[in-house]
Structures are given as C-alpha cells and as structure tokens.
Structure 1
Amino acid sequence: MTSQAQPDGVVIARIGKPHGIRGEVTVQAHTDDPERRFFPGAVFATQAPVGSGVPRELTLASARLHRAIWLLAFEGIPDRTGAEGLRGTQLLSTADDEGDDDDAWYEDDLLGFTVVTPTGDVLGEVTGLDIGAAQDRLIVRLTDGTDAQIPFVEEIVPEVDEEARRIVVDAPPGLLDLARDQ
C-alpha cells in the first residue's frame, strides 16, 4: 500500500472506525490539547493511501467527546459509507500550529532514537509512540528483539536528547521484564 506524499506537518490524530450513520468517526488523538484542535471549521491536511479517495484536506464540521473517545464529523462526509472510507487516515497539522511546547514530541520525531539507561547502556530503539488516555507509551524494540512499552512520563523518561537522537530511560525494576515474559 503506497501513501500519498506527506505534507509538512505532524500527526495530531488518526481516524478509526465510523460511529453511527451520520458520518462521524472515532479518532485516536495525538495531541495534548484536543479541545483546542477539534473545533468546527478547523482544516487538517491528510495522509492516506494513494487511490483511497480521501481528500488532501478535511474541514471539521463537528467534534464531541463520547465516553472518553473523540468523535469527529467532516464537511462533505454525510454518512457511514463516507466515514468508512476515512479509516486509517492521519490528520496533520504544521508544527508551527502546535506552539512552542518544549515538552511535546511526536512519533515521527522519536522513531529511531536510541534508548539508553542513565549509565549509558543501550536498551534498544524507539519504534513507535502509543498515545493513551492517561499517559503515552514509547514502543521500544529491545536489544534482544522484544518490544517493550515504556510509560512516557518524566519519572521514567527523564531526558530526550534530540541532537544526539537519544532517550534516557530509568525503568523501575521489572518493567522491561514484563515485555520479555510475554
């Protein structure tokens, strides 16, 4: 599956399944401030597979929170069939739109970073970022080939060095063993 050329920007949400019959979709938010992002009239660049028919931009018609899940509807997508065609589409925004939050990182920025202990021992490499309702988790491919989910909180991840493309993880005892035991 080939994707259309990625516009400049960062992923702020990924569209999931349709909700209801009026064109609403669930989204996995990749922003710390969805209330500021999801408002009627907001325009998002899109990243979708070539030939999917997804427009290069979508304009938000409505947004609401339903049982801790964001439901969005877009202009020109009037029904469930149209909403189903959006599944998997990434909604993008420029980094400039996100403001100057020095503590904000995006999945595309972190991919490939080396993960080390506070003493410098290599643990692995970042392969993803899982955005959660309570906290985000780094997905790290450990040196033994297993994947670990590490809570992306300051107590466990005290340093992100963008220049060195390195993340320091001070994992509590047993955290990395959880991945190896599965």
Structure 2
Amino acid sequence: MQVQVARIGKPHGIKGEVTVQVLTDAPENRFVPGVELTVEPATLGPLTVVSARWNKDILLLAFDGVMTRNRAEELRGGKLFVESDEVDDDDDDDAWYEHELVGLEVRVGSEVVGKVSGLNTMPVQDLLIVTTAAGEEILVPFVAEIVPEVNIADGYLLLTPLEGLFTVNAEPGEEAAVTDTRNTADATGENGPAGEDGAAGKDAG
C-alpha cells in the first residue's frame, strides 16, 4: 500500500522547481535527494528528488529531468506517494492520510451531510474539505472534538460540528425555516438553553 506524502503545486522560478503541499510529518526524511516517488497520475512519474529546500514555510522540490518552468507546470496537481512500509512505525495511530479520507461519508448523527473531498494540512491544525450534496465546500477543523470518529472500514466519519457550520451554506428557504422555528419558540416563551439549540443544529446537519 502506498501513502501520499505531498501534492505538487505551482512552479517556482524558471529552473524546474515546484512548490508542494506537504502531507507528512517527516518531510526531511521523505524528500531527500535520490528518493524516487510514485506519482498519480502515473503518466507524470515516477519522479526522483534532486533537491529539497524551504522558502519560508513552503517546501520546494526539484526532480531529475525537470529542468524548465514549462515542464514543472505539467506536474501541477500530481500526488506524490511512498510505499507504506517506509512510513515510521511510531506514527500516531490517530493520524490519517488524505487518500484514506477522501470519499468518506460525513455524518452528523445518522444524517449524511456530505463527503470528504480533500485535506488541507496547516501549521496549526488540519482542515477537512467537505463537499455537500449541493456542491458547496465547507472547511472543518480536523480535531477530535469536532471529528470524534473516523471509520475507514465502514466508509464514514462522524462530526459534532460547531453550531451553524453547515447551516451557513443552506439554501435561503432552509435558512428561513430555521429562523421561523426559533421565532416560534421565542413567541411561546419556550426558549431552550443554548446547549439544546446546538444539539438540534447538529442533528439537522
């Protein structure tokens, strides 16, 4: 099994270097000169690392045979993989790679609210990209409090989203329905505690 360690971004300069989105906790071990990386799509590779350097917080890679900006541009969007037995055995059991997450159903309670379409690896915390049935993308902090369960075997992950995380992208009619419900509660004087509103919002997705 192969594990994705990076995604190729835009070219840097005119000599074939590319920026990459790093998807590994050990880039200093994954991108040493001489390492051969499998590429998806396969027509782009394999690629052998010639050099790796940091430009502020962006990793720049150069590959054997990629000598021009035009050639580097052809690699944009390519996914870089290593064999799974090259991954450290002491990696966190709760660490997930993008290729494992993409395609998983996203559930709030028993309701499916979308699918995982990507993972943004950030310095402070990672962000799941969730695409709803309406085609809208929502960024979800990938932390245990919000994503308490990832079930690769059964093809889903469970969310306990912050209130309004999904309703902010609801259709106007849906937003109105939520508002009307709250106004009705206000009119009858049955204002429940904030915690109950939050729970209802989660169930509704």
With the shorter chain as reference, the TM-score category is 0.7 to 0.9
Residue in structure 2 matched with residue 122 of structure 1 by the alignment? 112
The answer to whether the aligner puts 1:174 opposite 2:174 as a matched pair is no
Q: Which of the residues 10, 21, 28 maps onto 1:17? A: 10
Query: For residues 155 and 35 of structure 1, do their structure 2 counterparts lie closer, same or farther at Cα, with a shift above 3 Å needed?
Result: farther
2:201 maps to none
Q: Is the 8 A contact 1:17 1:87 kept in 2?
A: yes
State the alpha-carbon separation in 2 of the partners of residues 126 and 132 from structure 1. 17
C-alpha separation in 2, matches of 1:21 and 1:112:
36
On the 8 A contact 1:48/1:88 being kept in 2, the answer is: no
Identity %: 45
Please give the alpha-carbon distance, in whole angstroms, between the structure 2 residues aligned to 1:74 and 1:18.
12
Q: Does 1:97 align with 2:86?
A: yes
On the 8 A contact 1:146/1:180 being kept in 2, the answer is no
Query: Does the C-alpha gap of structure 1 residues 116 and 22 become closer, same or farther in structure 2, counting only changes over 3 Å?
Result: same
User: In the aligned structure 1, how far is the partner of 2:133 from the partner of 2:163?
Assistant: 18
Match of 1:4 in 2: none
Partner of 2:26: 33
Q: Name the structure where helix makes up a greater proportion of residues.
A: 2
Q: CA deviation at 1:66?
A: 0.7
1:142 paired with 2:136, answer no
Listed as ranges, the gaps of 5+ residues in structure 2 are 173-205
4+ runs deviating over 6 angstroms: none
1:84 aligned partner, one-letter code: E
Rg (Cα) greater in structure: 2
Aligned to 2:60, the other structure's residue is in SS state strand
Q: How does the TM-score come out when normalised to structure 1?
A: 0.79
SS of corresponding position for 2:166: helix
Within a 5 Å distance, the mapping from 1:52-71 to structure 2 comes to: 54=44, 56-71=45-60
Q: Which runs of 5+ in 1 are unaligned?
A: 1-7
Listed as ranges, the matches of 1:103-114 within 5 Å are 103-114=94-105
Cα-Cα RMSD: 2.5
TM-score by length of 2: 0.71
Alignment of 1:152-163 (within 5 A): 152-163=142-153
